[in-house]
Amino acid sequence: MLKQLSVYAENKKGNLQRITGTLADRGINIWGSVTNDSAEYGIIRMIVEKPEEAQQILQEAGYLAKLSDVIGVEMADEVGALNKLLIALTESNINVDYIYLSFNRESGQPVQILHTQDTPEVASCLNAKGFRLL
């Protein structure tokens, strides 16, 4: 399982860059991210190199930053790969709260990042179905 860093930040010009700059200044690599916004605040979800350290750094910078468990599923870079994963989840009656893309630096393969309600159970199910988890 992977740790996801979620940062809650005010929607204002330059704020995302300040967050990424703070991590870059401290040598933390961002491997994947997605940003969801509302009228006043956004949630920046990231897979980062050193999640606990990144959380502490951003909290010290005044941001609300939380860690949560997510599942990383390495996929073939081919047509229908995501659909195969989603079929397996549907057949197992698993709901995905959200999904976004990263990639495995070692293999060069895409990695789907999934957030579900029962991460360990879903990870076990996907392992049993032959998916490669990070």
Q: Identify the CATH number of the domain in which residue 47 sits.
A: 3.30.2130.10
**pLDDT attached to residue 11:** 87
Total domain count, the chain: 2
Supply the mean pLDDT for the chain. Answer: 93
**pLDDT attached to residue 92:** 92
Look at residues 68, 83, 99 and tell me which one is the last residue of a structural domain: 68
Same-domain status, 124 and 91: yes
Residue 58: which domain range? 2-68
Same-domain status, 119 and 74: yes
Residue 45 DSSP class: E
Supply the Cα-derived Rg of the chain in whole angstroms: 16
Same-domain status, 47 and 19: yes
Rounded distance, CA 72 to CA 113, Å? 5
Same-domain status, 85 and 101: yes
Angle at the Cα of 116 from the Cα atoms of 100 and 64, rounded to 5 degrees: 70
Same-domain status, 8 and 62: yes
pLDDT for residue 39 is more than 80: no
Residue scoring higher pLDDT (37 or 116): 116
Residues 104-130 have pLDDT tens digits of: 888 889 999 999 998 999 999 999 999
